[in-house]
């Protein structure tokens, strides 16, 4: 092969990888300024999300990488959408407060029903010295944000919760991988960080 053909072939490969990187849905990218992150689509009423939650938290702490949470309330869960709206309300006060609320909801998930979610949420708010208004989302903006997350999940073909991804900022190869087997989460993060 001549030098010209080699250069042309390399240019085609480079352009193809750049085009692929641009085609990746931004949801499957880490936050700006980070190389690797965990993206999770979760439903606060989902028992499997509850089981996965501590592992995801442990991985994020171990590797010092962010977790990007997207709400994906399943239609057959009676209170998950409202819990996600309350988490969004608390996030407007502080990201940590919202994360603590999610931890609290997962901890008490077996006890929570559609009828007592408000009481659990009020108890959390009181313990954290935060006012929880009678109407949490009067304009419907928080509900719209939860719906937008769910629509985003549908756009990338989320079918179950939790759906976990390890994502990277790299521009060549595949910049994300779905975590199908959670026992492999740490190995997948290791591999993504090496590349």
d(CA 148, CA 51): 25
Instruction: Note the pLDDT of residue 179.
Output: 96
Flag whether pLDDT at 74 surpasses 90.
Answer: yes
Domains, the chain, ordered by start? 25-194 (3.40.30.10)
Instruction: Note the pLDDT of residue 170.
Output: 85
pTM of the model: 0.84
Q: How far is CA 16 from CA 31, 86, 106, 182, in A?
A: 24, 43, 43, 31
Residues 41-69 have pLDDT tens digits of 999 999 999 999 999 999 999 999 999 99
Give the mean model confidence (pLDDT) for residues 78-89: 98
d(CA 138, CA 91): 16
Residues 129-153 have pLDDT tens digits of 999 999 999 999 999 999 999 999 9
Residues 24-34 have pLDDT tens digits of 688 899 999 99
């Amino acid at each position: 092969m001549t030098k010209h053909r080699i250069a042309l072939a390399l240019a085609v490969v480079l352009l193809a990888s750049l085009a692929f990187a641009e085609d990746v849905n931004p949801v499957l990218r880490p936050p700006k300024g980070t190389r690797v992150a965990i993206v999770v689509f979760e439903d606060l009423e989902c028992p499997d999300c509850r089981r996965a939650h501590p592992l995801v938290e442990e991985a994020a702490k171990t590797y010092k990488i962010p977790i990007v949470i997207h709400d994906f309330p399943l239609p057959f869960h009676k209170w998950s959408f409202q819990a996600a709206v309350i988490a969004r309300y608390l996030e407007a006060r502080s990201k940590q407060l919202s994360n603590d609320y999610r931890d609290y909801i997962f901890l008490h998930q077996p006890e929570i029903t559609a009828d007592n979610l408000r009481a659990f949420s009020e108890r959390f708010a009181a313990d954290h010295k935060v006012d929880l208004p009678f109407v949490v989302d009067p304009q419907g903006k928080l509900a719209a944000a939860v719906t937008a997350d769910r629509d985003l999940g549908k756009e990338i073909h989320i079918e179950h919760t939790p759906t976990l991804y390890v994502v990277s900022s790299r521009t060549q190869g595949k910049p994300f991988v779905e975590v199908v087997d959670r026992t492999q989460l740490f190995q997948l993060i290791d591999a993504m960080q090496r590349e």
